[in-house]
Amino acid sequence: MTSHDQHQKTKENLDSNSLDKEPTNLISGSLIPEHKNNIDDGTNESDSEVEVHVNTYNLKLTFVGNANVGKTSIIYRFCEHKFEPENIISTISVAYNKIKLKVDPFTELDMQVWDTAGQERFRSITRGYLRGSNGIFIVFDLTNKQSYDDVQSWLDEIKNGDVDPDCVRMLIGNKLDADNKEVDVNEVNKFCEENDIKFLTVSAKNGINIDTMFEIMGNACAKIIQEKEKENENDELNNEKNKNEQNISLNIELNEENNNNIDVNKNNSNTKKERCC
């Protein structure tokens, strides 16, 4: 189980006119806990003064999927640690949440979580909000076979949209607690293996695997960012190395040219002396 400190959550509903705008005039929501894993880092009170460098990663995570599969309930459960369907209103266009998650003593995730509407008429708006996502949750309802059958159309939206190829995709089967399931989990596992997609079953009602899904996604996204940063550092080092090698090569050529000029001057000097004498 995770321990929780208090921090501020912001949330708003956005319309299609705000597609290319940063969230403004956010309405302050209720205080939500900062998610932290109970990880023993081996420190005690005597070590409390030792400064620990914490890497913070800014992530954009987007939820997509058919209407009424439980996207908003999953986010509400993660933020508020409650399941209150009477307080859940179907998302119109897009809703925004900001959440912090500390996965270990050295890594903190600052997550922008975008909850999109599942209705067909909002598809064009949803497509715009996929842009810039580090990770995308594709949610379906384990008790609704059609919602799973439509997963492929959502994957096509992601594939055809302006989404980074390194964006992490994760399939979420909600309502694990229900008895009247219509979706064969083995079939889903096979599909995800063939398409290189992460998969997890969860329950917004009971809280099963809700924290876990965010932790898996957050760690996967942070790992990709780390790898890109390392690649950029290596590229910079290689560029600097090539530049130095080019400078060395140029200096060698200049030295050789100078030596040749000196030899020519010496020969000319000797020739003049011979004529003179």
The pLDDT value recorded for residue 129 is 83
Does residue 259 have a pLDDT over 90?
no
Q: Contact, 210 vs 139, CB < 8 A?
A: no
For 150, counting Cβ atoms within 10 Å of its Cβ (0-12 exposed, 13-18 middle, 19+ buried), the class is middle
Q: Measured between alpha carbons, how far is 184 from 178 in angstroms, rounded to an integer?
A: 13
How many helices (H) and strands (E) would you count in the chain? Answer: 6, 8
Q: What's the Cα-to-Cα distance from 7 to each of 59, 65, 109, 249, rounded to whole Å?
A: 17, 28, 14, 58
Query: Per the CATH hierarchy, to which homologous superfamily does domain 3-19+26-37+53-222 belong?
Result: P-loop containing nucleotide triphosphate hydrolases (3.40.50.300)
How many C-beta neighbours within 10 Å does residue 91 have? 21
Q: Where are the domains of the chain?
A: 3-19+26-37+53-222
Please tell me which residue, 115 or 276, carries the higher pLDDT value.
115
Q: Contact, 100 vs 109, CB < 8 A?
A: yes
Q: Measured between alpha carbons, how far is 115 from 74 in angstroms, rounded to an integer?
A: 10
Q: Which pTM value belongs to this model? A: 0.68
For the residues 8-24, what does the mean pLDDT come to?
40
Kindly report the average pLDDT of the chain as a whole number: 77
Q: Contact, 147 vs 140, CB < 8 A?
A: yes
Q: Closest by alpha carbon to 127, among 105, 108, 155?
A: 155
How many C-beta neighbours within 10 Å does residue 217 have? 25
Residue ranges in the chain assigned as alpha helix (H): 71-80, 123-129, 145-149, 151-160, 185-195, 210-276
Q: Over the stretch 73-107, which tens digit does the pLDDT of each residue have?
A: 999 999 888 888 766 666 555 777 888 888 788 88
Q: Over the stretch 209-258, which tens digit does the pLDDT of each residue have?
A: 999 999 999 999 999 999 988 887 766 666 676 777 677 777 776 777 77
Q: Over the stretch 39-65, which tens digit does the pLDDT of each residue have?
A: 445 555 555 567 788 889 999 999 999
For the residues 252-274, what does the mean pLDDT come to?
65
Which token pair is 142?
A: 């384990």
Q: Which one-letter amino acid corresponds to residue 260?
A: N
Q: Contact, 93 vs 117, CB < 8 A?
A: yes
